[in-house]
A and B are shown apart, each in its own frame.
Chain A
Amino acid sequence: MNTPIRRLSVVVMAMFAALLIASTMIQFVQAKEYNDKPGNRRTLLASYAKERGSILVEGNAVATSTPTDNDFKWLRTYPKGTQYAAATGYFSFTYGTSGVERGYNDMLSGSSDKLFYRQLPDILTGKQPQGASVELTLRAKVQDAARKALGNQRGAVVALDPKTGAILAMVTSPTYDPNQLASHNLNAVQANWKRLLAAPGQPLVNRTISGNLYPPGSTFKLVTAAAALSSGKYQPDSELEGPAALKLPGVTKPLPNITGQSCGPDDKVSMKDALKISCNTAFASLGMDLGQDTVREQAVKFGFGQELTIPMTVSPSRFPSDLGQAQLAQSAIGQYDVRVTPLQVAMISAAIANGGKVMRPYLVQNVKDKSLDVISSTDPSQLSTPISGDVANQLKDMMKTVVDSGTGRLAQIPNVEVAGKTGTAETAPGVNADVWFTGFAPVNDPKIAVAVVVENGGTAGQEASGGSVAAPIARQVMEAVVGQ
C-alpha cells in the first residue's frame, strides 16, 4: 500500500502548492489591483489612520489633516472650503475622493512606491508614515478675484499661465464645501451628499473641465480665423461676405447677425473687423469656404477631442463630424453641436498668447515630503503647435482690437494692453444665452490667459452678452496678475 500513499502525498503537496500560489497571487501579484478597487473600505480606513499630506496654495494649506480622538484618527479639513473646492475636491469616507485628492491620492496618503525610501526611517521606528504634500499652481490672488467676480452666477472661470500651462485660477459656481463631505459624522455627510446631488446647478460638477460642456459661441471664431490665416488664402484684412443675414443652402431660415445689421459697407468686411464686432455672417461664410475638414483639423490642433489629465480628467471638447454646409456655417461660429470646456477655450487664448504653442495644462506644481523636500515637480511641456508664430501675431492684433474698440471693451485694464474675444452662445429657445469672454494680458508679454463663461446670462439675464457680463469678470481676473 506504500506506493499509492506516496503518490497521494504528491497530490497533497500539489494541493498545498496551489494554495501557496493562490495566496501569493492575491497578496503580492494582484494586491495593488484589489487595494485600488473602488469602495475598498480597508484602503479607506488605512488612509484615515495616518496623517494625509496637505494640499497647498502658495505655501498655505487649503486641505489639511487634523488629529481627532475617534476611530478615524485624522479629520480632513478645508480651511477655505468653497474657495478651492473645484481644485482640491473632497475626501469622504463614504463617497470616496475627487479632484486633486483623488488624482494625487497615493502621494497624499503616502502609499506611493515613490515614497518608500523616504518613509523607511518611520517604518523602521514604528512611526506611522505621513503622506506627502501637494503644492498647487493656483495663485490665491487670482483665485480670489475670479471667485469674487463670478459671484453667485452659474458658470466657470479658468486662468492659465500661457507660457507654462500652469493653472492660476479654477472657479466653478455653484460650488460646495468639501468639509461637509469630509466630516466624521457619517449621517450628516450622507445628508449633505444627497442635498448636493439634488441641488439645482449640480454644485459637485467642476464646470471648468467637465459637466455637459458648453457651446463656445463666438469665441470659436478664433479657431475659424486661425484656420483661415493658416491656410494662406486669407490675411487679417481679407474681405469677407458680411450681410445682415446669410442665406444657408438647404435651410429656409437665414443666419443673422446679433445686431441685425450688415457688418460693413456693401455687405463686405475685413476679417479683422469681423472679429472685432463679432460678425456671424462673415465667419459663417468663411467656415463654409474653408470646408469642415480644415476647421476641424484646426480645432483638433488646439486640443479638441483630446482627453487631458490635470490630474483630474478633462472632458474632451468636440467639433462635430459629417456636417452639411448649413451646419458647418453654424459650427464655424461656435453653434450647432460644437461643445467645449472653459479650459479648452483658455488654451486657445493661451496658444495665441504664447506664439502659437499650447502648453499642457497642469494644476499641481510639485510634491513635497514632510521636511519640504521636493519629491517631484511638474515641468512645463508643450502639447502641440496649432498655429505658426506669424498667425499667432496676426490673431493677437485682431484680439487686441476686440478689447480696444470692439465687443470686449469692458475688459480694458488701465495702462495694460489686453486681447480678447467675446461670445454669446444660444443654447435653447427661451433660455438666455451662455456668455463668454476669453483673452490674455499683457499683449506683448502675456502672463495670464483666461476663459470665463456665465450660464443663462447670469444676473443680466436676457440682456446679457459676452461683452457686458463675461468681459468685466475676465478683466478682474487678469488684473490680479497684471494690474498695478
Chain B
Amino acid sequence: MNTVTAHPSTRRGTELVLLIFAIAVVLLAYANVGLAVDGALPVDIIPMGIGFIAIAVTFHLVLRWKAAYADPTLLPIATLLNGLGLVMIRRLDLNSSATNGLLEGSALRQLIWSAVAVGAAITLLFVLPDHRRLRRYTFTFALAGIILLMMPLLPVIGRNINGNRIWIGLGPFSFQPSELAKIAVTIFFASYLVQTRDALSLVGKRVLGLPLPRARDLGPIIGAWLASLAVLVFESDLGTSLLFFGVFVAMIYIATERRSWIIIGLTMFLVGCYTAYLLFAHFRVRVTLWLDPFTQGLSDQVAKGLMGMASGGLTGTGLGQGHPEITYFANSDYIIASFGEELGLVGLMAILLLYGLFVERGLRTALAARDGFGKLLASGLAFSMALQCFVVIGGVTRVIPLTGLTTPFLAAGGSSLLANWIIVALLLRISDQARRPMFESSAMADEMTQVVKIR
C-alpha cells in the first residue's frame, strides 16, 4: 500500500463555482416564468432566491467541513435539477390558477420538501462519517426495504391513486415509500453481495455451458424477483418492479463479474414481462399505446406529451409560453415533456446530459471506491438513478412503454426528492472516502477485508 504524501485537491472551489452557476440559472428561469406568465418579476423572487442560496451554500459548507474530498459535481447538478423542477412546477401552478403572486400549492410543497430533503442529506453526512458502517445493518435494511415496499398494501394507510397502489397517506400527508425502499434495498444488496460474492461466483455447476449458482445462493435472486413480481401484481407498479430487478441484476453482475447473471436476469425479466402482458389488461393498453400513441379510445396522455414536445421543437416555446398543462401529470410523470415543450430539444438535451453526468460521476465514484461495499453501493445507486431516468423519460419519449416512475429531482413529489437527496449524500460520502488521502482516513479497508464480516 502506497503512502500518499501530498494532499489531493479537494475541488471545493470548483464546486462553489458550479453551484453559483446552477443557482443563477434557476433564478433566471424563475424570473423568466414570472415575466412570461404575469408580465412582472415574481414578487417573492428575493426571499425565494435568498432561501435557495442559503440551502445550497449551507450544503456546500457542510461538505467543506464533513466531506471535503467529495465529488464536486454532484451537489451542483442536483441543485440545478431540483431548482429547475421547482420553477416548472411553479410555472404550471401559475397556469392552473390565479394566484396572488406568492408561492403556494404544489410549488410550495415542493420547496418545503426540498428543504426537508436537503436537511436529511446534510444530517446523513453528519451521522455517517463512513459509509461502511451501513454494513452493520445488512438485514435491517432488507427488512426495512420489504416493509416500505409492502406498506401501500396495508389497510387504512395504503392509498390507491390513479390505479397504482404505491402510496401511503395519513390525513393530507401522502408518501411513496418505494422511493426509500429503493435505497434500503440497494444497501442490502451491496452488503449481501459483498459477503457472498465468492460463493456466488465460484461455486456452482455448469448447465448448457452456463455456470449456474447453487440453489441456496440463488435464494436472494429468486427473492428479489418474487418481490418485484409482488410489487407488479399487488401494486400494479411496473416501473418500480422494473427498477428493483434491474438494479439487482446490475449489482450481482458487478459483484460476481459473471455474465451468466445477466442472462439469468434478463430471462427472468422477459418471462415476467410476458406474463404481465398476458395477465394484466392495463399493461397491454400501455404496450398498445407505446406502439401507436394515437390509438383511438385509449388514453391520449402519450400522444399529448409527444405533441407538446413537438410543439417545442428545437429551441422551445420559452418558459411560460407553451401549453404543457394540456398533458396530464405535467408536473410529475410528464415534467420532462413540459421541459421539452418550453425549453426545446436544446433544453431537454441539457437536462439529459445533467442526468448522464450525475450517473457517470456516481459510477466514477464506484470505480474509485477502495472497498467492495462502496463500489457496489455507489454503482447500485448510480445505476438506479440511470434506470429510473431511462424508464420514465423513455416512457415519455416512446423508447419503452410508459410506466409510472418519478423523474429524479424534477418531478413534484416529496418522497422522491427525499430519496434522491439521500442518494446524493451517500454518493458524496463514498466519493469523499474514495478520494481522501490514505493517512487521513481511519482504518481504510483494503481488498482483503472485503470478504471479512464486520460484525
Contacts and interface: CB of A to CB of B under 8 A. Distances in A.
Contacts of B344: 27
B254 A12 contact: no
Interface stretch (A14-22, A380-388, A396-404, A433-441): A14-22
B323 A45 contact: yes
Nearest to A3: B257
B255 to A, nearest CB: 7
Contacts of A27: 309-310, 312-314, 340, 344-345, 348
Nearest to B360: A9
Contact of A19 (B255, B383, B390): B390
B397 A8 contact: no
B352 A8 contact: no
B313 A31 contact: yes
Q: Does more than half of chain B's interface fall in helix, strand or loop, or is it mixed?
A: helix
Interface in A10-52: 11-13, 15-16, 18-20, 22-28, 30-35, 37, 40-43, 45-46
Given A8-B379, A41-B323, A23 B254 contact: no
Nearest to A15: B390
A5 B254 contact: yes
Contacts of B366: 5
Given A8-B379, A27-B340, A27-B344, A1 B254 contact: yes
B451 to A, nearest CB: 13
Contacts of B363: 5, 8-9, 12
A253 interface: no
Q: Which of A13, A23, A46 has the most CB of B within 10 A?
A: A23
Contacts of A233: none
Given A8-B379, A45-B323, A28 B345 contact: yes
A23 B397 contact: yes
B313 A18 contact: no
Interface in A56-90: none
Given A1-B376, A6-B367, A35 B393 contact: no
Interface residues of B, number: 50
A8 B310 contact: no
Contacts of A32: 310
B389 A34 contact: no
A227 B205 CA distance: 89
B394 A19 contact: yes
B397 to A, nearest CB: 4
A15 B395 CA distance: 12
A19 B354 CA distance: 13
Nearest to B336: A23
Nearest to B316: A27
A9 B367 CA distance: 10
B367 A26 contact: no
B356 A16 contact: yes
Contacts of B353: 16
B10 interface: no
Contacts of A429: none
Given A4-B254, A16-B356, A23 B376 contact: no
Contacts of B250: 8, 11
B408 to A, nearest CB: 13
A24 B294 contact: no
A5 B308 contact: no
Given A13-B356, A35-B307, A28 B313 contact: yes
B359 interface: yes
Contact of A41 (B312, B326, B345): B326
Interface in B357-389: 359-360, 363, 366-367, 372, 375-376, 379, 382-383, 386-387, 389
B42 to A, nearest CB: 20
A20 B394 contact: no
Nearest to A4: B254
Q: Which of B311, B314, B389 has the most CB of A within 10 A?
A: B311
A23 B349 contact: yes
Nearest to B363: A9
A2 interface: yes
A31 B397 CA distance: 13
B322 interface: yes
A24 B399 CA distance: 12
B66 to A, nearest CB: 26
B257 A42 contact: no
B137 to A, nearest CB: 22
A450 to B, nearest CB: 44
B254 A8 contact: yes
A388 B379 CA distance: 83
Contacts of A22: 394, 397-399
B355 interface: yes
B192 interface: no
Contacts of B59: none
B255 A12 contact: no
Contact of B310 (A3, A19, A30): A30
Interface string A343-366: 000000000000000000000000
B383 A28 contact: no
A16 B254 contact: no
B348 A42 contact: no
Contacts of B312: 27
Given A12-B359, A12-B363, A42-B311, A1 B372 contact: yes
Interface of B: 250, 253-255, 257, 294, 303, 306-314, 317, 322-323, 326, 340-341, 344-345, 348-349, 352-353, 355-356, 359-360, 363, 366-367, 372, 375-376, 379, 382-383, 386-387, 389-390, 393-394, 397-399
24 contacts: A1-B376, A2-B375, A4-B257, A5-B367, A5-B379, A11-B250, A12-B360, A12-B386, A13-B356, A15-B394, A16-B386, A18-B390, A19-B397, A20-B349, A26-B309, A27-B309, A27-B310, A27-B340, A28-B345, A31-B310, A31-B311, A35-B310, A40-B307, A42-B326
Interface of A: 1-6, 8-9, 11-13, 15-16, 18-20, 22-28, 30-35, 37, 40-43, 45-46
Nearest 4 A/B pairs, CB to CB: A34-B310, A22-B397, A27-B345, A31-B310
